[in-house]
Structure 1
Amino acid sequence: MNALTILYRGPLASCDYDCPYCPFAKRRDSPAQLRADRAALARFTAWVADAPRTLPDTAVSVLFTPWGEGLVRSWYRRAIAELSRLPHVERVAIQTNLSGRTAWLDECELDTVALWTTYHPGQVARERFLARCAELLERGVRFSVGVVGLPGHLAEARAVRAALPPEVYLWVNAAEGHRYTDAEAAHWQALDPLFHLSRHPHPSRGLPCRTGHTVVSVDGEGAVRRCHFVPEPLGSLYDGSFAARLAPRPCPLERCDCHIGYVHLEPLDLYDVFRGGVLERIPAGWPAPPG
């Protein structure tokens, strides 16, 4: 069976947090903008449900990567639950700050759904975030926990790592624009044995990458691109024009510095490192040390 991974990012840009280090430009979505996002997501969900007709013998996986916080919106919760129950969907995951309630996950197929969660010190009390994690553990939901590796976050990251059970992987994203001394990096590496992957951008021009072949990015209008970081369109999801352009191709960019991009670079062999957990960012065999 073939496989296609889709990174979906609709027009939603509002968030209930206001992190000063967030690279995404946030806005307060108007009712009209929220309606447009809801309609776009419903159209996308319907396409995935009908994918066996468009792409026969293809397993589909979906990672939602919204500019804002999706799980505070009922239509994202409903879409994930619906997609998780489709037999041709292998995985459906979302990046989230975990601020919302978790009871909706009872409607999901737990073998399919997963969460990529991020703890934001200063935006939520540690105890509240850990309580949400405890709810996920009680429900048997697959999830990872992450933090941005800013110096002021180190003590909180250590406290969260100590409070979480060993089976929960805690990842660390290198802070954008921050240069780490080896001593600083060692502190983060002690928390996340894969921090070195995030510390420096990866040279990527000319290297083989799964994006544009078995991985694509889709926006709210259905425009298909190889990834979020390469603007050239491959076609439309909804008229099927993208399918003929799916093919192996090298990366056109000088470097790739975001996990949702470089995890697909073939020379890094990260599909082996994250086997079974690429979308939710969980290493294979965790908590055993990778490699």
Structure 2
Amino acid sequence: MTVLTILYRGPLASCDYDCPYCPFAKRRDNPTTLRADRAALERFCDWVAAQPGEIAVLFTPWGEGLVRSWYRRAIVRLSHLPNVRRVAIQTNLSCRTGWLDDANRDVVALWCTYHPGQTPQDRFLAKTNELADMGVRFSVGVVGLPEHADSARTIREALPAHVYLWVNAAEGHTYSDDEASEWETIDPLFGFSRHPHRSIGVGCRTGESVISVDGDGTVRRCHFVDDVLGNLYDGSYADGLRPRACPLLQCDCHIGYVHLESLPLYDVFAGGVLERIPSRERHL
């Protein structure tokens, strides 16, 4: 049976960091939004628990989810469900890590981003060491801005050898071949991020085995295509699942283009597509 991969993004849009390249920096959600986000997440987890088929979940909140107790509880709960193959979340790792003691380490994973200037490097690395000691799967990454290069090299040297450090091409930034080559010494897979991928008319797994779900249960093929396939909770989305080509000219975000059938990334990241962990034996 095919695993249904769900990218979930609820109402949460608040973050404890102030990154200059992020529109949600230091944004605060009001109590009404936070209550709605919590209720939506709990409803989603109840739905997953009731499904007969295998499911993988990546939480992609606009803000920072792990500073909210309901995201930590949800991840622990989902990690123990027999039908959940993987549950992962994108995070700045500003939260404590002890809650992961209660999670199923075979299922849970973290996609961690280091933001220079937002937290001391030693503090961030101490948390990655805690994850490694706990046996939690995780990747670490940075945005490929010139001013981040030294930090990225230091982080790479300090991380355990088995931990992948990815580099995202900065939005709107053009890389010369020499610059790209420098980033590739840190992340050998940087080439996949360097340029947007032409996607119009190209087959994509989104809308077939991968879907995007918001807090109301509205289902779209991915975060970047607005067309609605149906609703998760009334089951109307299911009739819309089928092979299809991308309608957009290009795709420039990893959580989108990783699913393009024209790219080899399901092989590159075999076993770690959601948490962005490549198959090291073959690709790093």
Do both proteins adopt the same fold according to a TM-score greater than 0.5, normalized to the shorter chain? yes
State TM-score, norm by structure 1: 0.96
State the distance in 2 between where 1:2 and 1:184 align: 40
Aligned to 1:41: 41
State the distance in 2 between where 1:120 and 1:25 align: 12
State the distance in 2 between where 1:139 and 1:228 align: 32
Matched residue SS, 2:283:
coil
Which of 131, 140, 144 is the aligned partner of 1:136? 131
Matched residue SS, 1:11:
coil
Aligned to 2:227: 232
Q: Which moved more, 1:179-188 or 1:17-26?
A: 17-26
Aligned to 1:215: 210
Aligned to 1:266: 261
Matched residue SS, 1:231:
coil
Aligned to 2:31: 31
Which of 105, 122, 125 is the aligned partner of 1:110? 105
Q: What pairs up with 1:87-106 in 2 under 5 angstroms?
A: 87-106=82-101
Deviations 1:212-269 (A, max 9, x none): 0000000000000000000000000000000011000000000000000000001102
Q: Is 1:253 aligned to residue 248 of structure 2?
A: yes
Q: Is 1:275 aligned to residue 270 of structure 2?
A: yes
State the distance in 1 between where 2:23 and 2:274 align: 20
State TM-score, norm by structure 2: 0.98
Matched residue SS, 2:184:
helix
Instruction: Kindly indicate whether the alpha-carbon contact (under 8 Å) linking 1:213 and 1:248 is maintained by their aligned counterparts in 2.
Output: yes
Instruction: Kindly indicate whether the alpha-carbon contact (under 8 Å) linking 1:13 and 1:25 is maintained by their aligned counterparts in 2.
Output: no
Aligned to 1:192: 187
Instruction: Kindly indicate whether the alpha-carbon contact (under 8 Å) linking 1:9 and 1:220 is maintained by their aligned counterparts in 2.
Output: yes
Aligned to 1:73: 68
Q: Is 1:7 aligned to residue 7 of structure 2?
A: yes
Instruction: Kindly indicate whether the alpha-carbon contact (under 8 Å) linking 1:193 and 1:289 is maintained by their aligned counterparts in 2.
Output: no
4+ long deviations beyond 6 Å: none
Aligned to 2:283: 290
Q: Which moved more, 1:27-36 or 1:95-104?
A: 27-36
Alpha-carbon shift at residue 183 of structure 1 (Å):
1.1
Matched residue SS, 2:128:
helix
Aligned to 2:51: 51
Q: Which amino acid in structure 1 is aligned with residue 94 of structure 2?
A: S
CA root-mean-square deviation: 1.1
State the distance in 2 between where 1:80 and 1:50 align: 16
Matched residue SS, 2:221:
strand
For this pair of structures, how many residues does the alignment match? 284
Percent sequence identity over aligned pairs? 70
Which of 157, 160, 164 is the aligned partner of 1:169? 164
Q: Which runs of 5+ in 1 are unaligned?
A: 53-57
Q: Which amino acid in structure 2 is aligned with residue 136 of structure 1?
A: L
Q: Which runs of 5+ in 2 are unaligned?
A: none
